[in-house]
Amino acid sequence: MSGGPLSFPARFFCSPLVQSSVSNFRPDGNRKVVKSDLVIGTDGAHSAVRKLLMRQVRMDYSQQYIGHGYKELTIRPTSEREFRMDHGSLHIWPRQTFMMIALPNKDKTFTCTLFMPFEKFEEIKTQDEVLAFFEREFPDAIPIIGQENLINDYLKNPVGPLMTVKVKTCLFVCFVVVFLNIPPPFFQCKPYHYQDFCVILGDAAHAMVPFYGQGMNCGFQDVLVLDKVSPPFFSSWGVVSCLTI
Ligand SMILES: Cc1cc2nc3c(=O)[nH]c(=O)nc-3n(C[C@H](O)[C@H](O)[C@H](O)COP(=O)(O)OP(=O)(O)OC[C@H]3O[C@@H](n4cnc5c(N)ncnc54)[C@H](O)[C@@H]3O)c2cc1C
């Protein structure tokens, strides 16, 4: 394959990286093996590409879940298709061990995210329990979300886990190593790539809990660094490969 990103209409699973090919399982159940020159894994915290890399290189890696999870609820627009709250403000309902936030979207909805310990989510299973919990903790949010939507969203939407993923280095560190010529052992660089064929970026390489508000920025920073290191070196990633201890 020459140029252009691979698109994954279905789930992307593995085949040995050493064969420089990826298998793309399509919705019809057929498997298509795609030969590629370069795979950039930006498939998030549960990255399939990272799992493949870990089988090919001695990657130092750590993953840690926190005790809180998150559930998303939606605040719909008004009948006049307007925001239900001021969309220029940050909406936060802090409650000691848990909190809810609401962030505006372009379609005039808000995404409400309830961050809470898993044990507390497990206590709330029925319609009555959802309503009682919101009446006690977030009574002003009920008319904004709408009682029926609240119960439906709450019971339907999953509780997502929150985790930190650390592969021992990120592209930013490698950029510093390459351009400031600081020896790799100082940074304990470990591979986050496989030769000149595969690299992971974004949450796949370094997921963090959302409370830092930095996950997306770090992903963008990876892209900037990749852009900086790639033009002269892209044809031969030997420069980056040499950082591997
Ligand atoms: C609740 C919450 C709030 C957050 N708030 C903030 C914030 O305020 N500020 C901030 O900077 N960051 C925030 N983050 C973190 C931010 O969302 C992530 O850092 C960012 O989305 C990472 O981008 P990414 O492209 O690396 O991965 P993702 O956004 O996770 O994208 C990965 C993509 O790969 C796809 N994918 C996964 N597996 C496969 C597969 N096998 N085949 C094909 N496709 C696949 C997924 O469907 C997805 O589209 C928050 C995260 C959460 C969970």
The closest residue, in CA terms, to atom 4 on ligand 1 is: 210
**237 against 226, higher pLDDT:** 226
Strand pairing category for 198-200 and 39-41: parallel
Looking at residue 56, its pLDDT comes to 78
142 and 219 assigned to the same domain = no
Pairing of strands 21-25, 12-13: antiparallel
For 34-46, write each residue's pLDDT tens digit: 666 677 888 899 8
Atom of ligand 1 nearest to the CA of 160: 53
Return the residue matching tokens 């959302």. Answer: 210
Lowest mean pLDDT among 1-10, 66-75, 186-195, 217-226: 1-10
Q: What is the pLDDT of residue 105?
A: 98
Distance 44 CA to ligand 1 centre (A): 5
205-226, pLDDT tens digit by residue? 889 999 888 999 989 988 888 8
Q: How many domains does the chain have?
A: 2
Instruction: Please say if the pLDDT value at position 80 is more than 90.
Output: yes
**Structure confidence at residue 173 (pLDDT):** 53
The answer, as to whether pTM is greater than 0.85, is no
Share of the chain above pLDDT 90, in %: 45
Residue 112 in domain: yes
Mean pLDDT of 63-69: 95
The residue whose CA has the least distance to atom 3 of ligand 1 is: 210
Strand order in 98-104's β-sheet?
Answer: 91-95, 98-104, 110-117, 61-75, 160-167
> Looking at the domain assignment, is residue 33 inside a domain?
no
C-beta of 111 in contact with ligand 1 (< 6 A): no
Helix axes 147-156, 127-137, angle to 10 degrees: 120
Domain-terminating residue out of 102, 132, 161 = 161
Same domain assignment for residues 141 and 184: no
Check residue 48 and give its pLDDT: 81
pLDDT tier for residue 78 given thresholds of 50, 70 and 90: very high
Tokens, residue 168: 């021992």
Residue 19 beta carbon below 6 angstroms from any ligand 1 atom: no
Task: With beta carbons less than 8 A apart as the criterion, state whether 153 and 74 touch.
Answer: yes
**182 and 128 housed in the same domain:** no
From ligand 1's centre to the CA of 198, what distance in Å? 19
In whole angstroms, what is the distance from residue 14 CA to residue 23 CA?
6
Q: Is 222 in the pocket of ligand 1 (CB under 6 A)?
A: no
User: How far is the first Cα of the chain from the last one, in angstroms, to the nearest whole number?
Assistant: 31
| Interval 114-159: pLDDT, tens | 999 999 999 999 999 999 999 999 999 999 999 999 999 999 999 9
What residue numbers bound the domain in which 140 lies? 65-161
Tokens of 130: 């959802």
78 in the same domain as 46: no
pLDDT at position 155: 98
